[in-house]
């Protein structure tokens, strides 16, 4: 019973927080707020905006199994091939595999996902320009979460800078 | 008690485990494949983590994905449900190495009891009655010699087999060599382990199993026996407790034997010892299931004990809250497995999309299901859609109740077939009704249409 | 046993009764209004008969329509469920005159116990403790004299009242005359019978009731007591058995008193004797319900007895199959009534159309409901959509289970409000959790918002 | 158990009957067979044809509460105001209240429904010509079952014979 009472208090606090921040959250995202989902105990908050740009957790987006499909705007998401921790570089302090603005070739390593101490390389599946890096270094990612976006060569009319 | 439990399973059992966790105030994280992202378990979980694609090999059977999900979500324990990694000694070891409590027996116990060959050796050492045969993994010559010694029919079983897969019955000595080779090949393909052994096969037997619960302090109780003789392709269709038409003394004896053996094995958690009962009432040990069983609801209904709750308590190091004499058994419970399969085509699993789904309800009727309108049944997973378990003071009333519940159940959609009508036929079958059936009932029914 | 039972009711109770009939091999005919033609009970019935329009007066409350339907369908018995005609002595007489068995006590028993004034007289004669007051129907002067004699607060009750309607509490002698006149007028409008009487009113009381079962051969047993103190507008919201925090001796005494009184009344069938328990633990008889109660599932869950089955057996003239000492009580059961109503607007019933309807499931969780996607909730009928009843070995576990089950329950649609969130608040309320609550709990909660 | 076994036998017989007669039934109705519903014990068979002309048990038809609404073809159904037994005449042997071809006026009695020994008159609600009598004399009817059809004056261009 003590546990439940604790839950109730925590619930109250979280609810109060949601009420206070809902408006701010609404403006923070790329589109109107769609859902706020809160769960108590050690706490998980899940905020969703409607029609947000594909960000890995959107069911409609994640529905396309397998990474590397072209988005509407000529960009393609590189998604996590497994659940684990995403690293942008080979080891702490080392330079990242890729940066925004880099051009990558099919098969080029763009990151690492560590699961159970095993370092699994994340490879680009097509030629493209790194337009955005979504997952932070050291962030936990789920299967098919978006890690980064590549701008596609043909879609952008071949204007990639050749660095 | 654990703060957070990761549920590394899907379907009805993920929901089942989740419910008890919530009731105990334990946070739930559901690990799911892409195919299950809209499941009821995911919807009801405190948190969910997508661990891989639909193919089990890369999701529910992938230890790295599950451990990563547990670490990522701060889970301190993992509930494996049944199937998938629930009886993998290797996975249990990995969890132990990562400081995660796998809810189930210790890896060493799984290693010993999960392998059929070593389980048979253990049973011999624990003085459990076993069927005549050779428990050593053996070659074709030794196998044929054993078969000849115990007398035909015999069954060739894969050491790593389970769930009715990797076994072959031989009636004629002339067929032995080929069957032996085929089973070995199959065992290698299915389990990555070609070891097989040979045992006497009983044609007219009943399948009876004893549920045990053990804590880490040496306390072991049994929760009675279940009869699971109604099987198709060696997979259970209808289970009930207590086993009907079996003398109380036999069941009591089985219970005592099992508790003694579980204690000898250092068992911890919920587990099931399976036996066959021959036509003379003699019991023979077959195997141990080191996990929660699909059919656990019938035991819950006659004992009032929530088995998942006990699993969590024991895994968290607590002592069992009751002794053998505190366990009381009341009435009869029957469970029917509703599968997406076509009995007319040899119980072939039938993929499809469920459009209408109206489960039964009412007094003493429990439905464990992840079914819902829109559910896509695919070949990736077990065809089980729902378990309908009922309770009543007497077996006749329980069968009538089960029949009524199945009649109420509406499942339909493009491509969807179920065994609902067949289950009702079994319930109405005179052999079953008068509890004169054996494990060959379904075969008998398929070969002689009822009139 | 009956060949065919006509079910003269709707909603969850029609389904409840139908299920047991089917299990007993009794053919079912569901009498329904035009509004209920697509209900689950109609869909599952062997036969259905449309007896009138949505307005109950011309359908479920119309004896001619129901008797015609029974005759037309060859029914030999009628199950009235609860509400509607279930406690009409006149309807019971009509059935008797048409050779139909009305499943319930004989009309003479209903006539005597169904009227509150004569029930009070009966209670006095049967030596049941009653609250001080006047049991004669009385005029305003005599009423005021009685009120003064027993001391304020008092309650003015309609003799023909029931279900929380036709009663008014008076705290101040100055308000008496007007309240008396209003209640009389209301009684005349609601029940066509202006008779009222005056009784002492208890502010801080618990509502406790005893379930009895009696056959036509003089055998009477009780199936324990239920606590129904959580009420809004004098209508029950949460019921549980056994009553928490009430000495076992008190409950045993109540059980014995009730069995004796039921025997004295010549009671046959299932019935409930209602009492209030004051803060000193003293019991006072209030009324008898000559029918199945909404909350009967909690009794079923702790006793394993199917009350509808017993009703049918007894109505068919059979002897009870058990004696008092055979009835065993196990664990705790709690039922929550899920209504289409808005707690924020004084529990105002809210009509609407249910679009999403996902009832809870899982171990020891029973949902009695006629709810389904597409169900239209109208003002014609009771706002009850579902009853969620759970069982557990202890009250703490039962409350946790009920909370979990309510959390799972999804009901939504245009215009639809439910009391689901409010029910969870009650379950979590310290007064309820520690069983220190009285019938004024809901009022207290509405006036002091929880933090 | 005996009861159930009996049920099973009866069930078999009924099913065999359905199989034997389904084709015939299909041709017997005005439209393709839609549903056959059978229930055992004292036996109830309910055969339904799709899109059949309104015949009282069709849910879509019965959905129109209150009798007397015009159908698509200028006919109106007189439906049962209550559940009971329908009688076409005041007493056995007496002439029927109406026959096919009769013209009725609003308020004219066209039948009786007996429920619990009470004889309740069934009245026409509008002027019309009796085009078909659906319910047989002495037949059990449910609330809103169609008893008879009236052809409407205005719909048929006033060509009613004035008998």
Per residue in B350-381, pLDDT tens? 999 999 999 999 999 999 999 999 999 999 99
For the segment A48-103, what is each residue's pLDDT rounded down to a tens digit? 544 333 333 433 333 333 334 445 568 999 999 999 999 999 999 999 999 999 99
The verdict on a CB contact (< 8 Å) between C51 and D7 is no
pLDDT number for residue D33: 53
Which residues in A have their CB inside 8 Å of a CB on B? 3-4, 7, 39-42, 44, 59, 62-63, 65, 82-85, 115-116, 118, 140, 142-145
Check CB contact of B252 with chain C, cutoff 8 Å: no
Q: Which two tokens stand for residue B77?
A: 């324990």
Give how far B348 is from chain C: nearest CA, Å.
Answer: 28
- Find where tokens 């366990």 sit: B327
Q: How many residues are present in chain C?
A: 451
The verdict on a CB contact (< 8 Å) between D62 and C34 is yes
Distance CA(B277)–CA(B261), nearest Å, equals 18
Chain D residues touching residue B403 (CB < 8 angstroms): 4
Q: Are B371 and B429 a contacting pair, CB within 8 Å?
A: no
The verdict on a CB contact (< 8 Å) between B363 and C16 is yes
The verdict on a CB contact (< 8 Å) between B63 and A84 is no
Distance CA(C91)–CA(C66), nearest Å, equals 10
pLDDT over threshold 80, residue A137: yes
Interface with C, mutate which of A6, A8, A40 (most C CBs under 10 A): A8
The verdict on a CB contact (< 8 Å) between C433 and A1 is yes
Does the domain at B206-447 match CATH 3.65.10.10? Answer given as no
Size of interface C-D (CB pairs under 8 A): 74
The answer, yes or no, to whether A and C have at least 3 beta-carbon pairs within 8 Å is yes
In angstroms and rounded to an integer, the radius of gyration of the C-alpha atoms of chain A is 19
pLDDT over threshold 50, residue A41: no
| Residues of B designated catalytic | 291
The verdict on a CB contact (< 8 Å) between D144 and C34 is yes
Check CB contact of B108 with chain C, cutoff 8 Å: no
Chain B residues touching residue C330 (CB < 8 angstroms): 304, 328, 330
**Per-residue CA distances from D48 to B136, B149, B324, C97 (Å):** 66, 66, 59, 36
pLDDT number for residue A34: 53
The verdict on a CB contact (< 8 Å) between C396 and A1 is yes
For residue C286, give every residue at least 6 positions away whose Cβ sits within 8 Å of its Cβ, in sequence order, or none.
Answer: C131, C274, C275, C276
pLDDT over threshold 80, residue B419: yes
| Confidence band of D27 (pLDDT split at 50, 70, 90) | low
Q: How far is CA B372 from the centre of its chain?
A: 23
For the segment C50-90, what is each residue's pLDDT rounded down to a tens digit? 999 999 999 999 999 999 999 999 999 999 999 999 999 99
Neighbours of chain C (3+ CB pairs under 8 A): A, B, D
The verdict on a CB contact (< 8 Å) between B363 and C304 is no
Q: Which two tokens stand for residue B204?
A: 């007219």
| Confidence band of C201 (pLDDT split at 50, 70, 90) | very high
- Give the end-to-end CA distance of chain C in Å, rounded to a whole number: 55
Of B52, B74, B98, the CB nearest to A83: B52
Chain D residues touching residue C38 (CB < 8 angstroms): 59
Q: How far is CA B186 from the centre of its chain?
A: 21
Give how far B319 is from chain C: nearest CA, Å.
Answer: 17
The verdict on a CB contact (< 8 Å) between A1 and C451 is no
pLDDT over threshold 90, residue A26: no
Average pLDDT over residues B310-318: 98
Domains B4-88 and B206-447 share a fold: no
The answer, yes or no, to whether B and C have at least 3 beta-carbon pairs within 8 Å is yes
The verdict on a CB contact (< 8 Å) between A4 and C451 is no
Chain A residues touching residue C396 (CB < 8 angstroms): 1
**Residue C16 annotated to the active site:** no
Task: Please classify residue B275 by burial: count the beta carbons closer than 10 Å to its beta carbon, then call 0-12 exposed, 13-18 middle and 19+ buried.
Answer: buried
pLDDT number for residue D16: 53
Of C4, C49, C65, the CB nearest to D42: C4
For residue C168, give every residue at least 6 positions away whose Cβ sits within 8 Å of its Cβ, in sequence order, or none.
Answer: C155, C156, C179, C182, C183, C186
- Find where tokens 């084709």 sit: D23
Neighbours of chain B (3+ CB pairs under 8 A): A, C, D
Q: Which two tokens stand for residue D97?
A: 């209240």
Average pLDDT over residues B90-115: 96
Question: What string of H, E and C letters represents the secondary structure of chain A?
Answer: CHHHHHHHHHHHHHHHHHHHHHHHHHHHCCCCEEEEEEECCCCEEEEEECCCCCCCCCHHHHCCCCCCCECCCCEEEEECCCCEEEECECCCCCCECCCCCCEECCCCEEEEEEECCEEEEEECCCCEEEEEECCCCCEEECCCCEEEEEEECCCCCCCCCCC
Q: Which residue has the higher pLDDT, D17 or C10?
A: C10
Which residues in D have their CB inside 8 Å of a CB on C? 3-4, 7, 39-42, 44, 59, 62-63, 65, 82-85, 115-116, 118, 140, 142-145
**Measured on CA atoms in the order A47, A50, A51, A52, is the torsion positive or negative?**
negative
pLDDT over threshold 70, residue D35: no
Q: Are C311 and C376 a contacting pair, CB within 8 Å?
A: no
CATH class of the domain comprising B4-88: alpha beta
Check CB contact of B25 with chain C, cutoff 8 Å: yes
Distance CA(B265)–CA(B119), nearest Å, equals 10
**CB neighbour burial string for D62-85, b if at least 16 within 10 angstroms, e if fewer:** beeeebbeebeebbbbbbbbbbbb
Give how far C285 is from chain D: nearest CA, Å.
Answer: 38
ipTM reported for the complex surpasses 0.85: no
Best CA proximity match to C91, nearest among C81, C30, C80, C82 = C80
Give how far C361 is from chain A: nearest CA, Å.
Answer: 21
The verdict on a CB contact (< 8 Å) between D39 and C68 is no
Average pLDDT over residues B445-451: 72
Q: How does the average pLDDT of chain C come out, rounded? A: 95
For residue C308, give every residue at least 6 positions away whose Cβ sits within 8 Å of its Cβ, in sequence order, or none.
Answer: B363, C16, C17, C20, C21, C79, C292
pLDDT number for residue D38: 47
- Nearest residue on chain C to A12, alpha-carbon basis: C451
Chain D residues touching residue C68 (CB < 8 angstroms): 82-85, 115-116
Q: How many CB atoms lie within 10 A of CB A27?
A: 8
Distance CA(B316)–CA(A56), nearest Å, equals 35
Of A63, A65, A115, the CB nearest to B64: A115
Q: What percent of chain D has pLDDT over 70?
A: 48
Which residues in A have their CB inside 8 Å of a CB on C? 1, 4-5, 8, 12
The verdict on a CB contact (< 8 Å) between B428 and D12 is no
pLDDT over threshold 60, residue C361: yes
- Nearest residue on chain A to C427, alpha-carbon basis: A4
Q: Are C380 and C53 a contacting pair, CB within 8 Å?
A: no
The verdict on a CB contact (< 8 Å) between B53 and A7 is no
The verdict on a CB contact (< 8 Å) between C400 and B23 is yes
Neighbours of chain D (3+ CB pairs under 8 A): B, C
Distance CA(C281)–CA(C275), nearest Å, equals 11
CA angle C218, C222, C226 (to 5 degrees): 150
pLDDT number for residue A127: 93
Between C116-125 and C248-265, two packed helices, what is the crossing angle to 10 degrees?
A: 110
DSSP 3-state of C378: coil
pLDDT number for residue A153: 61
Considering the candidates C10, C112, C195, C291, report the single residue annotated as catalytic: C291
For residue B44, give every residue at least 6 positions away whose Cβ sits within 8 Å of its Cβ, in sequence order, or none.
Answer: B15, B18, B22, B28, C408
Domain boundaries, chain B: 4-88, 132-200, 206-447
pLDDT number for residue C353: 97
Chain D residues touching residue B451 (CB < 8 angstroms): 12
Strands B77-79 and B47-52: unpaired
Of B396, B400, B428, the CB nearest to D8: B428
Distance CA(B38)–CA(B54), nearest Å, equals 13
Which CATH number does C132-200 carry?
3.30.1490.20
- Find where tokens 């103190």 sit: C229
For the segment A115-127, what is each residue's pLDDT rounded down to a tens digit? 998 999 999 999 9
Which residues lie across from C356 on neighbouring strands? Answer: C412
Chain B residues touching residue D1 (CB < 8 angstroms): 396, 433
For the segment B143-190, what is each residue's pLDDT rounded down to a tens digit? 999 999 999 999 999 988 876 788 899 999 999 999 999 999 998 988
Check CB contact of B361 with chain C, cutoff 8 Å: yes
Q: Are B339 and B419 a contacting pair, CB within 8 Å?
A: yes
pLDDT over threshold 50, residue D94: yes
Of C44, C330, C397, the CB nearest to B408: C44
Long-range contact set of residues B166-175: C-beta below 8 Å, sequence gap at least 24: B166/B190, B166/B191, B166/B196, B167/B234, B169/B201, B170/B201, B173/B144, B173/B147, B173/B148
Chain B residues touching residue A7 (CB < 8 angstroms): 25
pLDDT over threshold 60, residue B128: yes
Report the range of poorest mean pLDDT among B194-208, B310-324, C205-219, D96-110: B194-208
In angstroms and rounded to an integer, the radius of gyration of the C-alpha atoms of chain D is 19
The verdict on a CB contact (< 8 Å) between C65 and D83 is yes
pLDDT over threshold 80, residue A6: no
Check CB contact of B374 with chain C, cutoff 8 Å: no
Q: Which of A7-16, C290-299, D38-47 has the highest mean pLDDT?
A: C290-299
Of D1, D4, D12, the CB nearest to B451: D12
């Amino acid at each position: 019973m003590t546990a439940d009472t604790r839950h109730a208090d925590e619930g109250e606090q979280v609810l109060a927080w949601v009420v206070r921040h809902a408006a701010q959250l609404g403006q923070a995202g790329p589109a109107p707020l769609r859902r706020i989902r809160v769960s108590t105990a050690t706490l998980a908050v899940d905020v969703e905006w409607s029609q947000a740009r594909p960000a890995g957790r959107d069911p409609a987006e994640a529905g396309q199994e397998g990474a590397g499909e072209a988005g509407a705007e000529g960009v393609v998401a590189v998604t996590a091939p497994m659940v684990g921790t995403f690293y942008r570089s080979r080891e702490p302090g080392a330079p990242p595999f890729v940066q925004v603005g880099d051009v990558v070739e099919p098969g080029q390593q763009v990151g690492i996902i560590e699961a159970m101490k095993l370092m699994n390389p994340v490879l680009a599946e097509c030629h493209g320009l790194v337009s955005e890096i979504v997952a932070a270094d050291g962030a936990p990612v789920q299967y098919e979460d978006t890690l980064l976006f590549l701008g596609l060569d043909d879609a952008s009319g071949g204007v990639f800078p050749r660095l | 008690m654990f703060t957070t439990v990761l549920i590394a399973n899907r379907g009805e059992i993920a929901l089942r485990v989740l419910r008890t966790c919530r009731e105990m105030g334990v946070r739930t994280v559901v690990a799911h494949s892409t195919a299950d992202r809209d499941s009821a378990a995911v919807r009801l979980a405190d948190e969910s983590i997508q661990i891989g694609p639909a193919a089990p090999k890369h999701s529910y059977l992938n230890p790295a994905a599950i451990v990563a999900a547990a670490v990522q979500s701060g889970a301190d324990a993992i509930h494996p449900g049944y199937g998938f990694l629930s009886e993998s000694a290797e996975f249990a070891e990995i969890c132990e190495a990562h400081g995660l409590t796998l809810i189930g027996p210790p890896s060493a116990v799984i290693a010993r009891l999960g392998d059929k060959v070593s389980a048979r050796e253990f049973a011999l050492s624990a003085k459990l009655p076993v069927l005549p045969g050779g428990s050593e993994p053996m070659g074709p010559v030794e196998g044929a010699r054993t078969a000849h010694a115990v007398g035909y029919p015999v069954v060739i079983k894969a050491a790593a087999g389970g769930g009715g897969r990797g076994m072959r019955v031989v009636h004629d000595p002339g067929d032995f060599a080929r069957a032996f080779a085929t089973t070995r090949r199959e065992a290698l393909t299915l389990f990555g382990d070609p070891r097989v052994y040979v045992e006497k096969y009983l044609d007219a037997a009943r399948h009876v199993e004893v549920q045990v619960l053990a804590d880490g302090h040496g306390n072991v109780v049994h929760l009675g026996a279940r009869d699971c003789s109604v099987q198709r392709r060696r997979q259970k269709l209808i289970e009930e407790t207590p086993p009907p038409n079996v003398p109380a003394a036999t069941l009591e004896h089985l219970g005592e034997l099992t508790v003694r053996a579980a204690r000898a094995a250092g068992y911890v958690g919920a587990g099931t010892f399976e036996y066959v009962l021959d036509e003379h009432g003699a019991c023979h040990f077959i195997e141990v299931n080191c996990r929660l069983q699909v059919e656990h609801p019938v035991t819950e209904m006659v004992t009032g004990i929530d088995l998942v709750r006990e699993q969590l308590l024991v895994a968290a190091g607590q002592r069992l809250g009751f002794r053998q004499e505190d366990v009381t058994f009341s009435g009869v419970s029957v469970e029917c497995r509703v599968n997406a399969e076509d009995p007319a085509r040899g119980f072939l699993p039938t993929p499809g999309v469920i459009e209408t789904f109206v489960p039964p309800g009412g007094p003493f009727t429990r439905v464990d299901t992840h079914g819902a309108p829109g559910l896509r049944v695919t070949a990736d997973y077990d065809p089980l859609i729902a378990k309908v378990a009922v309770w009543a003071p007497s077996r006749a009333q329980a069968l009538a109740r089960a029949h009524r519940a199945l009649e109420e159940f509406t499942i339909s959609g493009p491509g969807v077939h179920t065994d609902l009508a067949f289950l009702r036929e079994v319930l109405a079958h005179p052999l079953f009704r008068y509890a004169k059936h054996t494990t060959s009932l379904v075969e008998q029914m398929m070969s002689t249409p009822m009139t």
